[in-house]
Chains A and B, each alone.
Chain A
Amino acid sequence: MKRNRLFWGAVAPIAAILTSLFLMYIILSLRGADPFALFKLMVSYGFDPRNLVSETNLTVSYYLAGVAAAIGFKMLLFNIGIDGQYRMGAFFGAVVGAAVNLPPILHVLLIIIVAMVAAGAWASIAGYLKVRRGVSEVISNIMLNFIAAAIIAFLLSPKLLGSLPEGSQNVQTKPIPASGQMPTIKIFDGEVYSVFFLAIFVGIAYWIMLNKTVFGFNLRATGLSFRAARSSGVNAPGMIFITTCISGAIAGLVGIGTLLSDTHSYSMAFPSGFAFTGLSLAILGRNHPVGIFFAAFLWSFLERAGQVLEFEGIPPEIVIVMQGTIVLSIVIAYEVVARINLRQQQKAVGKVSSEVLSEAESK
């Protein structure tokens, strides 16, 4: 039974990837390009050691965004606010980190905690509105993303918390001193951010929290049925609120690698657009910590490897088409697989019941 589940669980993603590869093949052929030569080029650059390091760092950010989304999904919450939450976390982490002077490990810990608290607090607004005022978290989070951007843009002004180095047009926070920076692991000429280990820890903690604790049980129960959970004594609204905050706090970790191991300040060049990525990865990885890891790696692999296509005259948007196809096909594939499973179960039940029935008749 377990093996059966594993098999069907793997079929859907593989089918989705094949579908998207097939679509890519058609698109590339229509453009008059040689699809196999291009795939070959993508694979060879994608697995280039130097590039793998960069992919690993990107995977970590995507992974954390995916886990943040997955926690929400377990509660049927669509946390599209990951983007704003992550930015609030990274920004306030950068500001506080630059303002204080602490011993090395404490300094890093403080920044990480500030980032998680800022992001979690930002997410709590959506949680509060949902629980107390019945506002859909999708609507409030989209709004909160814009508000977060506006608040940061306001605070990052050179007159307030930001600074504009000579000759630069890129407003940034003051740099975090060395004690607040995280070490990197030098490998293949590249540097892997040590936040990698934090991400592994988050993945394990997420799994344990969900499957081995009363809290996780309540969370899953509330996600499956709000009313049933409530009538069996679970504080369902409270669970929704807390889950939203936790999801936000994890989102606060998304920018930590870039902030503490690379840029050491928050600037206009900081990335955005993690919300859709996180949600896609949670769907692709079926909210499972290992599944999300593979999904995150696939995403960063496609994005990084897709870079070479530009030099062959293929627009980089092709990677987005590919990612979109994968998510679409996976949703369809999971549904098809679920239906096949259901039909098999129904057949099995039907077979048993007809046997019972014919036995009864013969008697």
Chain B
Amino acid sequence: MQNKTLRKLGAATVTAALALTGFIAAAPAQAATKTIGIAYSLGGRDVPGFNQLAYIGVKPLLDKNKSIKLIESQDNPTATDDQRAERLRLMAGRGANPIVVVGFTYAAALGKVAKEFPKIQWGIVDDSSVKAANVQSIVFKEEEGSYLVGVAAALSSKTKSVGFIGGVNTPLILKFEAGYIAGVHSVDKTIAVKSTYISNFPDFSGFNDPAKGYEAAKGMYENGADVVYAAAGGTGTGMHKAASELGKWSIGVDADEATYPAHAAYKKTILTSMLKRVDLGTRAFVADALAGKKTAGVKTWGSKQGGVGYTTTGGYITKAVAAKIDAAQKKIASGAVVVPTDPTKA
């Protein structure tokens, strides 16, 4: 009896194998229309932050020209450089051109794949180490934007104590911290700045952990800080919650956080947000590439180019404060103030 069952099982396996070979024959067709590709970093499009901004940047182009397609792919924590390269190859094989690659973790993978697909225009956000004739580095002066909100924080603080929450302890986030501290101290050297980081790589959860953001911010507020700035993606939501509960100021990052639907209950205590216009950077790159222009090279978005800035949503930044921030911005643009990128030198 057992023999019979085994034989049946064997027959089923053979049938399945045959069916599989039938499947293999069908290969995906090449796209005839233009296709834009976006390879997101961890978290993907749905988490507020640079991933989402890359999408927001590209969306108007898709709305304007309905024939353009968009293909997206997102990173996962177990991915190696080899698999990231495979992901980029897959997008390239699908006919995507240009392709936006979000995040510095893609740098090594892009370095390899860009050479294999010389006709495709690649843009990488937050990295300028990949040098190739078909790669544009889209980088931002996060320290300049952070400097501006640092000025806002210093001018709004009554307790002479402010805080900084970084998502993950990486050189990129240290730039935010450095600029913020320098901005605060440009107003008043006696203001204390407390800094904390939510997680260490490879644990990138610090960019999307509102519960820990809440605890960290609450601790800072209860210890005397009355303005806290979080450069921590989705983690910032927890900080805004703590701020609204305790009636203190919070400062958002990347996009205007006071306009997020999820932040509707907290917007009365969101002082301002530091803008990092990944949307502008990706849109400019994609539009140029679609228009057939050469895009290669390092494109730096500082406060001078409108790549970083601050928001006044809610009107909590008074005219007097705004005037001082704008004065600081002018000094940065003219080169009179050079904002540090290392917190130990801020």
Complex Cα gap A152–B200 (Å): 9
Q: Which residues of A contact B129 (CB under 8 A)?
A: 165-168, 170
B172 CB, nearest partner CB in chain A, Å: 5
Task: Judge whether B74 and A168 touch: CB under 8 Å.
Answer: no
A272 (CB) vs chain B CBs: closest residue: B202
Complex Cα gap A51–B82 (Å): 11
Task: Judge whether A262 and B80 touch: CB under 8 Å.
Answer: yes
Q: Of A7, A51, A167, which one neighbours B6 at CB under 8 angstroms?
A: A7
Task: Judge whether B27 and A7 touch: CB under 8 Å.
Answer: no
Task: Judge whether B71 and A171 touch: CB under 8 Å.
Answer: no
A190 CB, nearest partner CB in chain B, Å: 9
B91 (CB) vs chain A CBs: closest residue: A311
Interface residues of A in 34-83 (CB under 8 A from B): 39-41, 43-45, 47, 50-51, 54, 57-58, 61
Task: Judge whether A87 and B202 touch: CB under 8 Å.
Answer: yes
Contacts A44-B24, A167-B127, A316-B74 given; does A258 touch B171 at CB 8 Å: no
Complex Cα gap A262–B84 (Å): 12
Mark the stretch among B101-109, B213-221, B269-277, B331-339 that contacts chain A: B101-109
Measured as residues with beta carbon below 8 angstroms from the partner, the interface class of chain A is 35 or more
Task: Judge whether B200 and A51 touch: CB under 8 Å.
Answer: no
Q: Which residues of A contact B203 (CB under 8 A)?
A: 146, 149, 272
Q: Of A10, A153, A158, which one neighbours B169 at CB under 8 angstroms?
A: A153
Q: Which residues of B contact A44 (CB under 8 A)?
A: 23-28
Q: Digit string of A256-285 for contact with B (CB within 8 Å is 1, else 0)?
A: 001000110001111111100100000000
Main SS class of interface, B: mixed
Task: Judge whether A168 and B87 touch: CB under 8 Å.
Answer: no
Interface residues of B in 1-48 (CB under 8 A from A): 2, 5-6, 9, 20, 23-28, 44
Task: Judge whether B127 and A271 touch: CB under 8 Å.
Answer: no
Q: Which residues of A contact B128 (CB under 8 A)?
A: 166-168
Contacts A149-B201, A268-B202 given; does A4 touch B2 at CB 8 Å: yes
Q: Digit string of A298-338 for contact with B (CB within 8 Å is 1, else 0)?
A: 00000110011011000010000000000000000000000
Contacts A44-B23, A268-B170 given; does A167 touch B73 at CB 8 Å: no
Q: Decide if A164 is an interface residue (CB 8 Å cutoff).
A: yes
Q: Decide if A150 is an interface residue (CB 8 Å cutoff).
A: yes
Complex Cα gap A167–B170 (Å): 14
Q: Decide if B318 is an interface residue (CB 8 Å cutoff).
A: no
A315 (CB) vs chain B CBs: closest residue: B44
A156 (CB) vs chain B CBs: closest residue: B201
Q: Decide if A169 is an interface residue (CB 8 Å cutoff).
A: yes
Interface residues of B in 86-137 (CB under 8 A from A): 86-87, 89-90, 94, 104-105, 107-108, 126-129, 137
Task: Judge whether A262 and B81 touch: CB under 8 Å.
Answer: yes
Interface residues of A in 149-165 (CB under 8 A from B): 149-150, 152-153, 158, 164-165
Q: Decide if A3 is an interface residue (CB 8 Å cutoff).
A: yes
For the complex, count residues of B whose C-beta is within 8 A of A: 50
B135 CB, nearest partner CB in chain A, Å: 11
Task: Judge whether A57 and B82 touch: CB under 8 Å.
Answer: yes
Task: Judge whether A171 and B170 touch: CB under 8 Å.
Answer: yes
Task: Judge whether B78 and A269 touch: CB under 8 Å.
Answer: no
Task: Judge whether A311 and B73 touch: CB under 8 Å.
Answer: yes
B88 CB, nearest partner CB in chain A, Å: 11
B90 (CB) vs chain A CBs: closest residue: A307
Interface residues of A in 113-129 (CB under 8 A from B): none
Complex Cα gap A308–B137 (Å): 26
Q: Which residues of B contact A150 (CB under 8 A)?
A: 200
Q: Of B71, B74, B81, B139, which one neighbours A269 at CB under 8 angstroms?
A: B81
A170 (CB) vs chain B CBs: closest residue: B104
Q: Which residues of B contact A58 (CB under 8 A)?
A: 80, 83
Q: Of A41, A50, A270, which one neighbours B202 at CB under 8 angstroms?
A: A270
Q: Of A54, A171, A269, which one neighbours B171 at CB under 8 angstroms?
A: A171
A24 CB, nearest partner CB in chain B, Å: 16
Interface residues of B in 267-292 (CB under 8 A from A): none
Extra 20 A-B pairs, beta carbons < 8 Å, given A3-B6, A262-B81: A4-B2, A7-B9, A40-B26, A44-B27, A54-B82, A61-B80, A150-B200, A168-B128, A168-B129, A258-B80, A268-B170, A271-B78, A271-B79, A272-B78, A272-B202, A273-B77, A307-B87, A311-B72, A311-B94, A316-B76
> Which of A's residues lie within 8 Å of B, judged by CB?
3-4, 7, 10, 39-41, 43-45, 47, 50-51, 54, 57-58, 61, 87, 146, 149-150, 152-153, 158, 164-171, 258, 262-263, 267-274, 277, 303-304, 307-308, 310-311, 316
Which are the 3 A-B pairs with shortest beta-carbon distances? A167-B128, A272-B202, A168-B129
Selected A-B contacts with CB under 8 Å, 16 pairs: A3-B2, A43-B23, A44-B26, A44-B28, A51-B86, A57-B82, A164-B171, A166-B129, A167-B128, A169-B171, A169-B172, A269-B81, A271-B202, A304-B86, A307-B90, A310-B72
